[in-house]
Amino acid sequence: MTAVPDRPEPGAAPPEGASSAPPASPFADLASFVALPRVTGLALSADGRRLAVSVQTLDPERTKWQSALWEVDPEGRRPARRLTRSAPGESAPVWAPDGSLLFTSARPDPAVRGGSGTGEGAEDPKPALWNLPAQGGEAHAVLTHPGGIGGVAVAADTGEVVVRASAVPGAADVEADAARRTRRKEAGVTAILHEAYPVRHWDADLGPTAPHLFWVGRLPADAPAGTEPPPVELRDLTPDAAPPDGAGDDLDLSPDGRLLVRSETVPDGPAGRRNRLVLLQTATGQARVLVDDPLADVHSARFSPDGAAVVCVREAMSTYDEPPDYTLLHVDVATGAVRELTAGFDRWPSAPQFSADGAAVYFLADDDGRHAVFRVPADGGTPVRLTADGAHSDLQVARDGSALYALRSAVDEPPAPVRLDPEATGQHPEPLPNPGSLGALPGTLQEVEATAADGSRVQSWLVLPEGASAEHPAPLLLWIHGGPLMSWNSWSWRWCPWVMAARGYAVLLPNPALSQGFGQDFVRRGWGQWGEAPYTDLMAAVDAVERRADVDATRTAAMGGSFGGYMANWVATQTDRFRAIVTHASLWDLDSFTGTTDAAYYWEKEWGDPLARPKRYEQNSPHRFADAIRTPILVIHGDRDYRVPIGEALRLWYDLQKRGVESKFLYFPDENHWVLTPGNARIWYETVLSFLAEHVLGREWQRPELL
């Protein structure tokens, strides 16, 4: 890359009011950045002729994101067109066989039967199930529940419907459920009595309600204009569902609607949980266990086109000595006979689906810094990778076998719908016309490699800003991914390196030990030893990049969130090579974290009981090495983060302050593990950028105006 003569050196102070990136780049202006449309979700109609996507945009007040549904042409000939519009927004689109589009929304509909929680005067509007007719016209609400409709599944052949809604245990019907909710509210009771672990999940308190699955059957035909539609009855398929588990949303309906397969959470030891597969007769609610493996979680089941089999994921539970491992299972519905489809495949398959003729199974898996689409014969064999690059999600299989559809993104491409050939390899399809397209990025992306201390290959992505060169080397940000069992391979709005590139930074996105997509041994290298191979891999990646002429090795910083925040803390205790550290939602005291996180049993498998096996805690907990920190640190945390509780940040902040380490604490009282509102997202970036500018670029600290 050559330097741009009329642009300042990356990192140099721009003129007052000017930006270090071209004015046209929305990444140079945070208000423009948070306003960019964001494509999520993908639904394909039964006839393969219509695609729907969810698109998030800012509301008129620019204080929250609204989601609307758009139609995308599967052939890529017509421009995308908007289907829905309301202030509360719409989500969870799914097509019925008759061509109507079902979705959930909390938009008001005074005419809806039972309007609890959805009318104009509702204090706390709850999502209802809506129907947009195939022939056009206005969408109308078809179903409500006091707890809101949380999701919908439709039988591909018959159009019969199952919905998920949160219900009060013991309520015999919808009316009883509503009455119990009202009694609690009128009595001023918010307390929850727990009788089993866990009690929280991500950012939500579990109980007193739990998700239930309700059989709806076929929705009634549209009523003539001016008449009220007939009532829709709900039949609870999971009447015994109760906190802390409930029925969940991992389910699939057979094409004829007679069977429902779901992942059921059951106890695993005194305070553990695991998942098994259960099959329900929708006509009677009768259930039987289909797959139950005491050494694994079994989930993500999908029916074959004839309903005679399901394919699912078996996730072998981790232990103190071994990380988890994943494979696909083919299960005969009638007999329960199980056979493995991906034996010997050294990647972690997910999201399986049968081909249109049932002869093959498509799935997704991380592979060498990509999230690829694979195909494997339904009777077993060697998986074949179909996509050359990018990260894919929301995989959809056309029922006539003509195509696959997915959302595809990459580190340098936001999610967009694409059409794939069902069998061709090496595919890199162009995006279909969609409302989430972007212009040029403020830099370029390169794939780089380093060699770890033990000889392992460490793959990374390097974002270089415009103008970076030997004459104008760019300051470097090491950005460490979360997980830890994931990898940098896709676009991120929350951890967007292009915002940094627009301000002249090079951003290194490494995939160190514990990253998935590089084989089981690569994960095993860091298992239970987060402070060893993951750390030395990161430093090897930084060393390799700092040898480049277009990177300034004298101006560097490290940052990360969640596991990446743990690693940022660990880096701070092990080296002073960086000028600044940013740590978001980070682990500081591993013993404290393991006991207070929302799923302690998961982490204790890797770390062991801290009273019986304290070694890993003592060797890998950053707080034990706090005296070694010399680098300025910005601590960021949300109070509603139950995955990494706020106590981690409070202890870290106190430990830094009492040692006199230069530090700041950006605290979000109403955010969780992520920062999800536009205003707080802007403040997050503003604070991080100002902190980095002070310590990496030598500028004066500028406190964000709204702080």
What CATH number is given for 26-31+438-696 in this structure? 3.40.50.1820
Instruction: Give dist(CA 630, CA 225) in Å, integer.
Output: 72
Q: pLDDT tens across 145-167, in order?
A: 999 999 999 999 999 999 999 99
Beta-carbon contacts of residue 582 (< 8 Å; ≥ 6 apart): 557, 558, 559, 560, 568, 633, 634, 636, 688, 691, 692
Helix (H/G/I), strand (E/B), else coil: 105: strand
Distance from C-alpha of 640 to C-alpha of 675, rounded to nearest angstrom: 10
As a whole number, mean pLDDT of residues 204-212 equals 95
Report yes or no: 39 and 50 within 8 Å, Cβ to Cβ.
no
For 674-706, b/e burial (b = at least 16 CB within 10 A) is bbbebebbbbbbbbbbbbbbbbbbeeeeeeeee
Cα separation, 71 vs 80, in Å, equals 6
Tell me what pLDDT residue 137 has. Answer: 84
Name the 3-class secondary structure at 88.
Answer: coil
For residue 137, give every residue at least 6 positions away whose Cβ sits within 8 Å of its Cβ, in sequence order, or none: none
Q: Between helices 533-546 and 563-574, what is the axis angle to 10°? A: 70
The percentage of the chain sitting over the pLDDT mark of 70, rounded to a whole number, equals 93
Helix %, strand %, coil % of the chain (to 5):
15, 35, 50
For residue 397, what are the β-bridge partners? 404
Buried b (16+ CB within 10 A) or exposed e, 353-379: bbbbebebbbbbbbbbbbbbbbbbebe
Model pLDDT for residues 625-677, shown as the tens digit of each residue: 999 999 999 999 999 999 999 999 999 999 999 999 999 999 999 999 999 99
Q: Which residues contact 89 (CB under 8 A, 6 or more apart)?
A: 66, 67, 68, 105, 106, 107
Interacting residues of 240 by C-beta distance below 8 A, sequence separation 6+: none
pLDDT in tens, 421-473: 999 999 999 999 999 888 899 999 999 999 999 999 999 999 999 999 999 99
Instruction: Give 53-88 pLDDT, tens digit per residue.
Output: 999 999 999 999 999 999 999 999 999 999 999 999
Q: How far is CA 47 from CA 70, 220, 252, 359, 409, in A?
A: 18, 21, 19, 20, 26
Q: How far apart are CA 640 and CA 626, in angstroms?
A: 26
- Name the pLDDT band for 222 (thresholds 50, 70, 90): low
Return the exposure string of 645-664: e unless at least 16 CB atoms fall within 10 Å of the residue's CB, then b.
Answer: bbebbbbbbebbeeeebebb
Q: What amino acid occupies position 167?
A: A
The DSSP bridge partners found for residue 450 are: 458
Range with lowest mean pLDDT among 29-43, 104-118, 277-291: 104-118
Residue type, 240: D
Residue in the structure block whose two tokens are 């609307």: 68
> What is the three-class DSSP state of 591?
helix
- Residue 31 DSSP SS3: helix
Q: Which stretch of DSSP H or E encloses residue 523?
A: helix 520-524
* Structural domain boundaries in the chain: 26-31+438-696, 84-235
Structure tokens at 602: 């998961």
- 296 sits in which H/E element: strand 296-303
The 10 Å Cβ neighbour count of residue 401 is: 16
Whether the bond into 244 is cis, omega within 30 of 0? yes
DSSP secondary structure, 308-355, as one string: SEEEEEEEEPP-SS---EEEEEEEETTT--EEESSTT--S--EEEEE-
The pTM assigned to this predicted structure is 0.93
* DSSP secondary structure of 206-221: --S-EEEEEEEESPPP
Which residue blocks in 49-117 are alpha helix, DSSP H? none
Give the C-alpha separation, 498 to 490, whole Å: 13
pLDDT in tens, 311-320: 999 999 999 9
What residue type is 9 in one-letter code?
E
Give dist(CA 39, CA 80) in Å, integer: 12
What backbone torsions phi and psi does residue 82 show, to the nearest 5 degrees?
Answer: -80, 135
Name residue 19's amino acid.
S
